[in-house]
Amino acid sequence: MSTVLQLSHFIDNAWVPAASGEQFEVYDPSTEQVIALAARGTAPDVDKAVEAARRAFPAWRDAKPRDRAALLFALANALRERAADFAHWEALNSGKPLARARREILGTARYFEFYAGAADKFYGDSIPLGGDYVDFTLREPLGVTAHIVPWNFPLNMIGRSVAPALAMGNTAVVKPAEQTPITALKLAELALELGFPAGVYNVVTGYGEEAGAPLSRHADIDGITFTGSVEVGRLIMKAAAEHIHSVVLELGGKSPIIVFEDADPAHAAAETAKAIYSNSGQVCSAGSRLLVHERLKDDVLEALVARSQTLRVGPALEDPDLGPLISREQFERVQGYVETGQQEGARVILGGTRPPERARGLFFSPTILDNVRPEMRVAQEEIFGPVLSVITFQDESEALKIANGVHYGLVAGVITNDLGRALRMARGLHAGQVFINEYFAGGEETPFGGYKQSGFGREKGWEALYNYTQVKNIAIRIR
Residues that bind ligand NAP (CB under 6 A): 148-152, 175, 177-178, 207-209, 212-213, 216, 227-229, 232, 235, 250-252, 284, 333, 382, 384
**CB proximity list for 314: less than 8 A, separation 6 or greater:** 30, 320, 322, 323, 358, 363
Question: Distance between CA 288 and CA 296 in Å, rounded?
Answer: 18
Report in angstroms how near the CB of residue 326 gets to ligand NAP at its nearest: 8
Given the complex with ligand NAP, which of 208 and 223 has the nearer CB atom?
208
Q: How far is the CB of 355 from ligand NAP (least distance, A)?
A: 21
Sort 442 into a burial class: Cβ within 10 Å, 0-12 / 13-18 / 19+. middle
DSSP 52-121: HHHHHHHHHHHS-HHHHHHHHHHHHHHHHHTHHHHHHHHHHHH---HHHHHHHHHHHHHHHHHHHHHTTT
Sign of the CA dihedral running 89, 94, 97, 99:
negative
Q: What sections of 291-450 are H helices per DSSP?
A: 297-309, 328-344, 377-380, 396-404, 419-428
- CB 380: neighbour CB atoms within 10 A? 15
Q: Which is nearer to ligand NAP, 90 or 260 (CB)?
A: 90
Residue 267 CB, nearest distance to ligand NAP (Å)?
A: 27
CB of 420 to ligand NAP, least distance (A): 33
Smallest distance, ligand NAP to C-beta of residue 327, A: 8
* Residue number, 206 or 265, with CB nearest to ligand NAP: 206
The residue among 73 and 89 lying less far from ligand NAP, judged by its C-beta, is 89
User: Measured from the CB of residue 211, what is the shortest distance to ligand NAP in angstroms?
Assistant: 7
Quick check: is 140 catalytic? no
Which H/E stretch holds residue 137? strand 133-141
Instruction: Give whichever of 68 and 96 is closer to ligand NAP, judged by the CB atom.
Output: 96
Pick between residue 251 and residue 273 the one whose CB is nearest to ligand NAP.
Answer: 251
The catalytic residue among 284, 382, 444, 459 is 284
Respond yes or no: is residue 250 known to be catalytic: yes
Closest CA to 208 of 323, 108, 329, 98: 329
Compute the least distance from the CB of residue 333 to ligand NAP, in Å: 6
Concatenated DSSP letters for 225-251?
EEES-HHHHHHHHHHHHHHT-EEEEE-
Q: Which residue is nearest to ligand NAP (CB)?
A: 208
| DSSP symbol at 454 | G
Task: Give the strand order in the sheet containing 5-7.
Answer: 5-7, 33-39, 23-28
Query: Taking the C-alpha atoms of 69, 71, 77 and 83 in order, what is their torsion angle to the nearest 10 degrees?
Result: -120
Judged by beta carbon, residue 93 or residue 416, the one nearer ligand NAP is: 93
CA distance 111 to 125: 25
User: Looking at 210, 250, 382, 444, which residue is catalytic?
Assistant: 250
Q: State the catalytic residues.
A: 250, 284
